[in-house]
Structure 1
Amino acid sequence: MIMLSVCHISNLKGTGPLVLIVLCILTVLAAGCTGTGTTPQSPAVTNPLSSVTSSGSAASKLSFDPIVGVWRSPGAVYKFEISFDVNGKTEETYSSVPHVYYNGTWIPAGDNMYLVTRETGEKTLWIHDMSANTIYKQEAPSIVYSLYQGTSMSAGRSAGTAGSSAVFSGTGNMVVPFTATESGLWVFTTNYSGQSNFIVWLGDNQGNRLALLANEIGIYSGVKPQKLDAGKYYLNVTASGPWTIQASVS
């Protein structure tokens, strides 16, 4: 563009200085308009919450391993209990020696196996039998430990009952594994005697929230039905005081 303008200027010398001045000004303006320079751009601002949908589905996703729960030795009077919590902690207790317990940690070891490391440094390998929903130590496969649900639990059909039922109780925040022994309409009766928030979410085995069973402040008693397929679920309880949850299928 500049070279073309200079040629025109050289051919128009006879038209006088005024024309030359005007052409020079036009040349400078044209060069400025067609320049290839770029204006610095401000960096794009990324919203850290842009990946979360407005429905809050990302926040409602929890992650539970099938091993989470309390497992007890067989028999009407259990002798040994081991708990696996959602934070990777374990606790082992013996009913015959009430003041002896072992704290530790657990991590998945692949193929339904879990490595438990006591605070003393002792390591044991536990295997989860998915089909029977039992666990056992690798070095003692003949002794199996069954999933224990709550402080008072009854399951199966008997005279005078409408179906399977289980009762869970605790104090404060807790994640409780719950097995729906059959498909149908399950009724959850919740009771709370604390003073602050009481929130109970029912989640499936994949960590998805299925239903809000309670969301109250202070003393509360309520009933919430929920249709479930047979399988394993979790009750995620937020509380500051004592609570009980009864689950029964109609």
Structure 2
Amino acid sequence: MSTDRSDDEFPIREATINDLQLAFKQNKLTSWQLVEFYLGEIHRLNPVLNGVIEVNPDALSQADEADCERRVKAPGSLPGLHGIPILLKDNIATKDKMNTTAGSYALLGSVVPRDAGVVTKLREAGAIILGKASLSEWANFRSSNAPNGFCARGGQGKNPYVLSADPWGSSSGSAISVAGNLVAVSLGTETDGSILSPSSSNSVVGIKPTVGLTSRAGVIPLTPRQDSVGYVEPLPYQFDGCYL
């Protein structure tokens, strides 16, 4: 099914998680169609925006599995993020076919021992890990002179509304991807403004939970006194982060 037809039947752009779940229940949308749409938009827009470093090669098969589960299981028995694609900042570990590199070639090909704590919870909640979002390399600790939103693996991230504008960082790709409708929700990390600043710059909603409320296990660290895993989504804000 083409991405254009999917978007015509149900307005995926700017849709919230609640909108998508309702569309699933009303048989207006499948997880497979949703993932196919986002992969199509990443293919079309990411060469300009550089918001995504890599996509999960198993995303479509996981979406197909979610659709099968939705057909056979009783309504209301599925977890809250069932079949919803989510992007992760590339400093959040996944034990799958993707890399976890903080945007650096130095970690390319390294093998993590397990999923990050927040990723384990997302999978338990039924989420599909769509891919890894770009970032300011090493969460903006590579160099004090590096531009916001740049990493070696992903290139220079661009604000979808004004390509010449500063996308800020370090969770730049997480905000760029949501603003550009490459995904409905993404995870980022913040030490000092790394979620809130790019969210503000790219006109989306960013939430940094109180330090310690979300697990930092499996997240490339900066400081235990300030690091926190949070998320980015479009307006209207409605994802409360309880799945993290």
Fold shared per TM-score above 0.5: no
Larger radius of gyration: 1
Structure with greater strand percent: 1
**Bigger relative contact order (CA 8 A; separation at least 6):** 2
Q: TM-score under structure 2 normalisation?
A: 0.27
Q: TM-score under structure 1 normalisation?
A: 0.26
